[in-house]
Amino acid sequence: MASNNDDSSSNFFTNDLDRNDSERDLYAILHISKDADTTTIQQAYRRLTLLYHPDKHTDSRNKQLAVDLFIQVKNAYDILNDPQKRAIYDVVGMKGLKAEGWEIITRTRTAREILDEYERLAKEREEKRFNQITNPNASIHATINLTDIFNQINSIDDNNNILPKIETTEFTVEQSIDIPLTRQDTATINAVATIRNGRGIGSLTTSFRRILSDLSWFRIDLTYGQRPYIGFHYFRRITQKLLVKQMFIQHLVLL
């Protein structure tokens, strides 16, 4: 009889585990419906933890199966007994619980609202990953002429009530993006726009850099702007503080 009970128990555990995987429905793990209330969830948890508790099983195989099921029941309970986690799980599933940065979610929020929140977090993660890969950089430079201010400060005319003239003589915006292609190769896109004395100029440069060794690398630049050109740069490190650079630039004539 004992043998039959062991076989029956073993089959029970095996059948339960056969239906388990990383995405198994948490409600199925607790054997409850999706509209179960908190009391029902807690009762199912107490009943199943008693059933699957490893200390209640002496057979080594059944004991290990009980441990696996006990852990799954505990994980399912931790999620379904938490209103915020349960609301996310009901709409998005387990992948939603892996996302970080959730605002407070309750089951009173609609499925559309929870999905919108998940999509927002996914977009933020994608933007963060993209920024880490491309390493975008931006800079703004301005040259301001304050000569009139200093002239008035140094003036001996106390009756000079004319406001000093402040003039921006140059304003530059620069944006660059590094795009790693392989461990040795990197492409770079650099754009520069400058306004100088009321006149605007700009340039766009695309570069390709390859690391040949720990001591040498080269870069090819192709610039389109007021004076288009193609450039080849070769770098060689001689010592820790000494770097040799060879450069060849050919200006392009656009017809």
pLDDT for 54 beyond 70 = yes
Confidence (pLDDT) at 41: 92
Phi, psi of 216 (to 5 degrees): -145, 150
Average pLDDT on 40-69 reads 87
Between CA 185 and CA 207 the distance in angstroms is: 11
Higher pLDDT, residue 166 or 211: 211
Q: Which residues pair with 209 in a beta bridge?
A: 186, 219
Higher pLDDT, residue 117 or 19: 117
pLDDT digits (tens, 9 = 90+) for 158-191: 666 677 777 888 899 999 988 888 878 889 999 9
Nearest to 32 by CA among 71, 84, 68, 86: 86
pLDDT digits (tens, 9 = 90+) for 1-18: 344 444 444 454 544 544
Three-state secondary structure readout of 202-223: EEEEEEEEEECCCCEEEEEEEE
Structural domains of the chain, ranges and CATH numbers in brackets: 26-107 (1.10.287.110), 134-156+164-251 (no CATH)
